[in-house]
């Protein structure tokens, strides 16, 4: 399994606080079947420049790597990235190119928690049309009340990838039915745990997978796995 969204890098945001906590999250994810983990700390353009963010991420990653050297249990491979908060003008900002998932053109984009406007969607579309850029919309289930659904039913092309959090399949029947209907229509592509800690926001992709299998059938899981692998393979990332 590939986890496209997590906050496992120590001290970067409201996710893992220490390398020890990061390692516990990684070990648990691996035991749940995650072979590749995308580490996507929050990037807020009003708090950091991309350069400052990348310097902080480098330090956090070095700290984690040093701690992982003493870890005897297997953990997923890690790809560094960011969860980039939407801002007005993002489609014309080349600063964010450095925040793509390492070795890929994928930008994990966190939309605002307010009604989606045609203007916002124009920006997302324009960004996705840029050469070597794939927009991955983070945790789509959180936006279904903000008018996201109407945009998802008519995606202009496949440079927009839809990511759902595992919790959407776990937190109760109402949310599960909403995301399940999107999944049935092929409007959901990949999963992320969005894990932050071992308590309320823990790795959950095994439970999510079990729920998908139970309520929708195994073929949907296979499709998600296929789409996830093919997406990374399209950028030459293999062997996970
Ligand atoms: Fe997140």
Q: Give the 3-state secondary structure of residue 189.
A: coil
Q: What is the pLDDT of residue 147?
A: 81
How far away, in angstroms, is 9 Cα from ligand 1 center? 12
Angle formed by the axes of helices 205-215 and 218-233, nearest 10°: 130
How far away, in angstroms, is 183 Cα from ligand 1 center? 20
Q: What is the pLDDT of residue 189?
A: 94
How far away, in angstroms, is 199 Cα from ligand 1 center? 15
How far away, in angstroms, is 83 Cα from ligand 1 center? 6
Q: What is the mean pLDDT of each run of 10 residues along the chain (240 residues)?
A: 98 98 98 98 96 98 96 97 97 93 97 92 93 94 86 72 96 89 90 97 97 95 96 94
Contacts of 175 (CB under 8 A, 6+ apart): 141, 168
Cα torsion at 225, 210, 18, 101 (round to 10°)? 20
With a threshold of 0.75, does the pTM exceed it?
Answer: yes
How far away, in angstroms, is 44 Cα from ligand 1 center? 12
| Domain ranges for the chain | 2-233
**Domain 2-233 indexed as CATH 3.20.20.140:** yes
Q: Which of 117, 80, 216 is nearest to 125 (CA)?
A: 117
Please state, as a whole number, how many other Cβ atoms lie within 10 Å of the Cβ of residue 217: 11
How far away, in angstroms, is 5 Cα from ligand 1 center? 6
């Amino acid at each position: 399994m590939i986890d496209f969204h997590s906050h496992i890098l120590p001290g970067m945001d409201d996710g893992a606080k220490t390398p020890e906590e990061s390692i516990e999250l990684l070990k648990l994810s691996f035991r749940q079947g995650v072979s590749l983990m995308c580490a996507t700390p929050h990037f807020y353009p009003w708090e950091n420049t991309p350069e400052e963010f990348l310097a902080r991420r480098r330090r956090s990653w070095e700290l984690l790597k040093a701690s992982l050297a003493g870890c005897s249990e297997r953990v997923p491979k890690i790809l560094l990235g960011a969860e980039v908060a939407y801002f007005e003008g993002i489609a014309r900002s080349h600063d964010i190119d450095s925040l793509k998932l390492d070795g890929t053109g994928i930008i994990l984009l966190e939309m605002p928690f307010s009604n989606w406007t045609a203007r916002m969607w124009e920006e997302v579309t324009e960004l996705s049309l840029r050469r070597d850029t794939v927009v991955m919309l983070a945790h789509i289930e959180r936006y279904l009340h903000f008018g996201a659904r109407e945009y998802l039913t008519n995606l202009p092309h496949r440079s927009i990838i839809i990511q759902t959090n595992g919790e959407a399949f776990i937190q109760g029947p109402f949310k599960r039915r909403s995301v399940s209907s999107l999944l049935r229509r092929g409007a959901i592509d990949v999963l992320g745990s969005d894990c932050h800690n071992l308590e309320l926001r823990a790795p959950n992709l095994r439970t999510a997978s079990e729920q998908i299998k139970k309520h929708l059938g195994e073929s949907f899981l296979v499709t998600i796995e296929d789409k996830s692998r093919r997406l990374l393979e399209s950028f030459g990332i293999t062997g996970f």
